[in-house]
């Protein structure tokens, strides 16, 4: 038997109808609609033919129009999942990308045999890397820096919401700093990680897709794309403890250049790791004493 909608139901205003009529990729439409309704994804199926109130419908259509015009889904819903964590996202921070999970995994392996590892995340943005490491290693002492006060506020909220208040490593500490500039000179770290701005200033990707809506300072060094990486590599020896490691994310074609910078700075065991797309996406090395 086919189900029949009651006469008072506006068939254009059911989840099924909204999704069918949406110009967006289905996954994006579902993310926006569940956000508006406060539903789980499965409820879009179990309640697919339910009439929605017009306020919800208007709200969804407004978000859909903004997405069609180009705004990133993560900014429209204010959240992006990273390493199993629901991170708050605003227009002041880079949207966490799945490939950056490789940086977290690699950093975690590097600190496997260390108790209470001291970790520094440079240019933390949402706090994605720092918070993911802190959540996986409750004993790690994690510091995170960013030059943007707005980003630090987002990162601090993410840490406060997602981390155990009583974690043995203590709260993640956040400070405003242009790379290492404001860091106490006496501090040493076992692991330094960063996903710095690495897109060259003239790269056409900066004026395409989500990147148009993300903070430019989180994407490009306004130079050849290696400026931030040079600064991070150059400053690392003074900040790393004996046998400390540095790992950075970089562009798809920068691995060789980044490895050369690490070698020139005296790093050993210099290597790159490939992301799920097979691209050398992160490079790092160890600073022997």
Residues annotated within the binding site for substrate are: 195-198
Min separation Cβ 218 and ligand GLN, Å:
6
Min separation Cβ 200 and ligand GLN, Å:
10
Radius of gyration of the chain, Cα coordinates, nearest whole angstrom = 22
Q: Quick one: which of 189, 198, 247, 267 contacts ligand GLN (CB under 6 A)?
A: 198
Backbone CA torsion sign across 194, 236, 150, 217: negative
What does the per-residue mask of binding to ligand GLN show for 237-276, with x meaning CB under 6 A?
------------x---------------------------
Strand partners, 282: 249, 273
Residues making up the annotated binding site are 123-127, 146, 179, 195-198
Beta strands in the chain (DSSP E): 79-82, 85-88, 118-122, 141-146, 173-176, 189-194, 240-249, 268-274, 280-287
- Assess 97 for contact with ligand GLN (CB under 6 A): yes
Q: Quick one: which of 64, 135, 141, 195 contacts ligand GLN (CB under 6 A)?
A: 195
Backbone CA torsion sign across 111, 262, 173, 163: negative
Interacting stretch for ligand GLN, rule CB under 6 A, among 21-29, 59-67, 179-187, 191-199? Answer: 191-199
Q: How many CA atoms lie within 13 A of 149 on its CB side?
A: 0
Max CA separation in the chain (angstroms): 78
- Assess 219 for contact with ligand GLN (CB under 6 A): yes
Positions touching ligand GLN (CB under 6 A) are 94, 97, 195-199, 211, 219, 249
């Amino acid at each position: 038997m086919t189900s029949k909608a009651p006469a008072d139901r506006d068939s254009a205003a059911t989840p099924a109808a909204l999704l069918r009529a949406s110009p967006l990729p289905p996954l994006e439409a579902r993310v926006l609609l569940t956000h508006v309704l406060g539903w789980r994804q499965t409820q879009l199926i179990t309640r697919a033919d339910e009439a929605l109130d017009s306020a919800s419908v208007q709200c969804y259509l407004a978000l859909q129009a903004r997405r069609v015009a180009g705004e990133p889904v993560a900014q429209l819903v204010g959240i992006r999942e990273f390493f199993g964590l629901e991170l708050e996202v605003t227009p002041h921070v880079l949207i966490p990308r799945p490939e950056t999970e490789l940086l977290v995994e690699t950093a975690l392996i590097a600190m496997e045999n260390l108790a209470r590892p001291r970790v520094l995340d440079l240019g933390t943005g949402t706090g994605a890397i720092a918070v993911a490491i802190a959540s996986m290693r409750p004993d790690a002492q994690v510091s995170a820096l960013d030059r943007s006060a707005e980003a630090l506020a987002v990162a601090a909220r993410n840490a406060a919401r997602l981390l155990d208040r009583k974690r043995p490593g203590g709260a993640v500490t956040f400070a405003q700093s242009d790379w290492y500039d404001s860091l106490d000179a006496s501090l040493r770290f076992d692991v330094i990680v960063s996903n710095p701005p690495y897109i060259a200033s003239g790269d056409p990707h900066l004026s395409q897709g989500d990147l148009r809506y993300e903070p430019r300072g989180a994407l490009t060094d306004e130079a050849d794309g290696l400026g931030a990486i040079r600064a991070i590599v150059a400053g690392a020896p003074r900040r790393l403890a004996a046998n400390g490691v540095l790992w950075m994310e970089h562009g798809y074609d920068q691995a060789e250049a980044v490895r050369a910078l690490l070698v020139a700075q005296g790093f050993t065991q210099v290597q790159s790791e490939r992301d799920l797309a097979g691209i050398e996406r992160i490079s790092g090395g160890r600073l022997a004493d």
